[in-house]
Structures are given as structure tokens and as C-alpha cells.
Chains A and B, each alone.
Chain A
Amino acid sequence: MKALVLAEHDNATLKGVTRNVVTAAVQATGSVDILVAGSGCAKVAEQAKAIAGVGKVLVADAPHLADALAENLAPQIAALAPDYTHVFAPASSIGKNALPRAAAQLDCAQVSDAIAVVAPDTFARPIYAGNAIATVQSADKIKFVTVRPTSFEAAGDGGNATVESVTAVADAGISRFIGREVAKSDRPELQGAKVVVSGGRAMGSAENFHLLEKLATKLNAALGASRAAVDAGYAPNDWQVGQTGKIVAPQLYIAIGISGAIQHLAGMKDAKVIVAINKDGDAPIFQVADYGLVADLFQAVPELIDALG
């Protein structure tokens, strides 16, 4: 058994989620190679070869692989997959976009968003927004699996894999990358942050979210939001934590003015410690919070900022 892991990167830096996927792949097969598909991505390959447990780093380097367009990335994965029993990718926007396309090209099913490896061909995954956990077994010759990064430890360094060039597939020519609007921030990334401060509809306005920024700065935390806050325009889309947004599992999650809809809980209930601050003592968020404070957030948050020194 041998697994291929799709590396997540921006052509310069290997994204941390790749390390979590390597851990899942090692659990399933014991033997892991990494595919770095990109353009001018030699630095990424250097970072990938240092991950403990990796045998080979395969590099497909071509201009049309620069932006992870599924029309080019999926055929690249499909070209290499027949040498493997498993193909893993993070359940990130890139992995979710490209892996099912590669799987279908080879007439294989996919297991989405695996949270545990039960056996080499059997995985646990959440269904119904995390209200049930299904254990599924794949009979396909190649198992295609996307992995929820927060459910697996990150593999550390200490390896010394060989780096090998592979032939890049031709440009499919049916899609073009136009541009990207990525919010620049000095804060940690939402999905990898140790502390997350999230605001809900009770924040009342986009301006009031600045209050949370102060708190986040004190705690070196990432900022998140409930769907209600995002829909109301108080916070950008990519801050959304929940079933249809980001899944996070930080050491500390502080939910401020968030009622705790099932949809939101699905995205944060694996946090180690949950703090809820809400005026409504009956809010469902208190049913999952380790520490609940029934208080007006506009009073409690400034007090909290002061108390943190």
C-alpha cells in the first residue's frame, strides 16, 4: 500500500494542512509520497521533503499549474494515481475542487472530509452537518480521500525524501485564472490558529467588530464570525465558521454574541476549550461552552481586554 498526498501551497510556501494530511496517509498506508504541482514551486518541494515519513516528493512544474485550476490539476493527479492505492488531499477549497474530478476520471468514488482512519479502506466522516458520523468502506482500486486537517496531528520535520520531477500534463485550455482577492492580515490563519475570537449577529455592525480585533490582538488570535454576522455584512465571507464555512479546532474558541445554531456548532465544537459570552442565558451556545458568561458583550469584551493586560 502506498499513498500520494496532494501538497497545498502558493508556489512559495507549503501550507501547514499538508502535514495533517500526511499523518492521515501514514495511518492508512504507512508509505507516503507527496505531489507538488505548481509553477516555479521548487521551494515548496524543499519544504515537503523535510516532512517526516515522506518517501518521495514528485514535482510537476508548469505555468498552467500555477493557480491550481482543476482542469489541469485533476489530470495531473489522475496521471500519477494508478501507481498508488490511495490519494489524499486536504478538504480545503483546492482539494475539494480538484480531487473529485481526478477520482471520476479514473472511475473511482471519493470519501470526503475524513476525520479518522479506521482501517486502510475504511474512514469515518461527518454527515448531516456533523450530527452523525458515518463509517464508510471503499472497494475501489484507488481510494480517493479528502481529509479534515483539524482531525489529525501535523507531521513534523525530520525526513529527507528524494525530489523527483514528473512530466506535467498539457494545458486543458478550457479555463483561465483571472485573479484573487485575499485579505492580507498579520493575524494567524483561521484554520490553523491556536485561539479564535468569533463574533455573531449581536455585534450589531461591522464597526463593532473592531472591538473583537483588539481582543484578538491581545490573544494572538484569528478572527471568525457566525453565518448570521457574515450575511448581515458585519464580517467578510472567509471569516465564516460553520458547516458551510471553515471548520476550526483551536485550543481556545471565544464565541461572542453568537447564539450557537447547529450550523455554527458544526464548525467549532472540536475546539479544546470553548468560551461563550452572550446576553441570552438560554442561547444554545452555552450547551457546548466550557465557560459561559451571561453578559452584555459591549461591557464584557472591553473588560476582558483590560483584564488580559
Chain B
Amino acid sequence: MKVLVCVKRVVDFNVKVRVKSDQTGVDLANVKMSMNPFDEIAVEEAVRLKEAATATEVVAVSCGVAQCQETLRTALAIGADRAILVETDVELQPLAVAKLLAAVVEREKPELVILGKQAIDDDSNQTGQMLAALRSMPQATFASRMKIADGWAEVTREVDGGLETVCVKLPAVVTTDLRLNEPRYVTLPNIMKAKKKPLETLAPATLGVDVTPRLKTVKVNDPPQRKAGIRVPDVATLVAKLRDEAKVIS
């Protein structure tokens, strides 16, 4: 079974982003970039499938600027076999990424595609679902457990109020939630090995995909700030304040 795993290069989750003063976006100059944490979980899951001999090959894909090669090298260091970069400087929105991935899926014909449920930059939570739609594949989103057997994937999903289990027929798309696994640390020998693994670069035009953005960002602002309130000395004062000042308890 071939597994395709999709990774996005995003601002590192530890970075506190700043909105640019001209309101055109957030300041990304000299900011540390990393693999989207949910995608790291996706790569880990794909590599574990290979280690369990369920998968035969793990192919990592990324779409975006040339520096996404670094993100793909990380995926290769975790254990992916080869990588594909669909390179473009155009701002890519979820629908465009889904179309590019759909074209890669058509070429590679994987039986399973694993992606993070959302990227921590635009927080869209769309790409996996859109890819599944474009290829008419079933989807198991927000996965916290996954089992492959007899041409189906049984996936436990994190949903409002609890958990839900579905079976999807392969080829299928799975998007990862936080608790699917804990990604390993990449070791130096594996980083060295990853440098020698194949990385192919494609252009959106080669894949016949129009990546023109559909949504226009009018502006980006700071969120309304909450001000710190007061410190209360004890529980009795707290209860009195909640009752008489805030009037949120009776």
C-alpha cells in the first residue's frame, strides 16, 4: 500500500505573530518556520504504517515556495521514502492546494492520503475534505485512532461531545487530530540520510491546475484585547464581586 502524506510549512507554533502595521497580514520576516504540527502527526502515522509493514512506500508532498523543501526534508528524516514539491510563489488557498494534491494523487495513485486536520496559520480546516471531494474518495477527519484491514480504514474521530467511529473504503483521505500519536524526534543520522532521498519538483502548470486565489484578504487586524482586571484577596471577596459587581451568579 502506498501512502501519500501532505505537509505544510507554517510559522513555528512557539512564535507569537505580529500583525503588520499596514494591515496586509502578519509579519513573517525572519520568523522561524516549521512543519505544521498536525502534519507532523500525519507523517508519523504514515511512517508507523510502513514500520508495521502495512504500507510499502510513504511519499511526502508539499505545495508552496522553494523553502518548503526544508519541510519535506523533515518528513524524509521522520521516515518518508521520497518527496514531491509543487513549487509556486503564488499565495495558495485550501481549494488550490486540494486541486494540486488531487493532481498528485492521480499520478501517484496512493491508497491512503494522510494530512493534518488544519494548519496553524490560516486555521481553515478544509484541505483534506476538499481533496476527498475532488477525487470522490471517502474522508475520515479529526482521527484519533486508525486501523487498516481488508481494503477499509477504521477510524475513530474526535467529535463534539465524544468520539465516533467510521469505516472508509480505500483509497481514502484521513486527517489527523492531536492525539493520534506522538511524533518522534528526528535524529541526526536520519537527517543526514534524508538529504540523499529523492525530492522531485513540479510546477502547478505541469499538473494543469489554476491556483489563483478565490478569497481576497481585505485586511488583517489585531484581535480586541482584553484588559487584566483586579486581584481579589480571598474567596469571600471573589464571591461578593461576582454577585454584586459582575452579577453573573445569584
Q: Could you tell me which A residues sit within 8 Å of B by CB distance? A: 67, 69-71, 74, 92-94, 96-105, 107-113, 118, 122, 126-140, 172-183, 189, 191, 195, 219, 227, 231, 236-238, 243-244, 246, 251-252, 262, 269, 272-275, 281, 286-295, 300, 303-304, 307-308
Contact = CB atoms under 8 A, between A and B. Distances in A.
Contact of B242 (A97, A129, A273): A273
15 contacts: A70-B139, A100-B129, A103-B126, A104-B95, A109-B95, A127-B220, A132-B220, A134-B122, A135-B220, A136-B215, A139-B216, A140-B214, A174-B172, A182-B161, A291-B238
A144 to B, nearest CB: 9
A272 B215 contact: no
B130 A100 contact: yes
Nearest to B235: A303
Q: How large is the interface on B (under 10, 10 to 19, 20 to 34, 35 or more residues)?
A: 35 or more
Contact of B166 (A101, A113, A176): A176
Contacts of A191: 160
B141 interface: yes
Given A128-B17, A133-B220, A303-B235, A112 B249 contact: no
A273 B126 contact: no
B122 to A, nearest CB: 5
A290 to B, nearest CB: 4
Contact of B121 (A128, A287, A292): A128
B130 A134 contact: no
B166 A109 contact: no
B129 A97 contact: yes
Contacts of A304: 235, 238-239
B130 A103 contact: yes
A307 B130 contact: no
Given A101-B132, A304-B235, A71 B122 contact: no
Contact of A128 (B11, B160, B229): B11
B229 A290 contact: yes
Most chain A Cβ neighbours within 10 Å, of B120, B160, B162, B238: B160
A112 B95 CA distance: 12
Given A100-B133, A181-B163, A252 B123 contact: no
Contact of A70 (B136, B141, B178): B141
B214 A289 contact: no
Q: Is the interface of A mostly helix, strand, loop or mixed?
A: mixed
Interface in B162-178: 162-169, 172, 177-178
A174 B172 CA distance: 9
A272 B238 contact: no
Interface string B172-205: 1000011100000000000000000000000000
A175 B166 contact: yes
Given A101-B130, A133-B222, A293-B234, A71 B139 contact: yes
A207 to B, nearest CB: 21
A275 B238 contact: yes
A290 B125 contact: no
B215 A175 contact: no
B166 A286 contact: no
Given A101-B130, A181-B163, A189-B161, A127 B242 contact: no
B94 interface: yes
A104 B215 contact: no
B19 interface: yes
B235 A293 contact: yes
A110 B94 contact: yes
Given A135-B219, A191-B160, A304-B238, A100 B19 contact: no
Contacts of B139: 70-71, 97, 101, 175
A180 B168 contact: no
B218 A135 contact: yes
A178 B167 CA distance: 7
Contacts of A126: 123, 223
A94 B234 CA distance: 43
Contacts of A289: 228-229
Given A70-B132, A127-B122, A174-B169, 18 more contacts: A93-B159, A94-B159, A97-B129, A101-B133, A104-B129, A104-B134, A109-B94, A132-B223, A174-B172, A175-B140, A175-B168, A181-B162, A191-B160, A238-B160, A238-B163, A272-B248, A287-B228, A292-B232
A262 B16 CA distance: 9
Contacts of A272: 246, 248
Contacts of B93: 109
Given A127-B220, A219-B249, A244 B178 contact: yes
Contacts of A94: 159-160
Contacts of B136: 174
Contacts of B120: 128-129, 243
B181 to A, nearest CB: 13
Nearest to A290: B229
Contacts of A97: 129, 139, 141-142
A290 B125 CA distance: 32
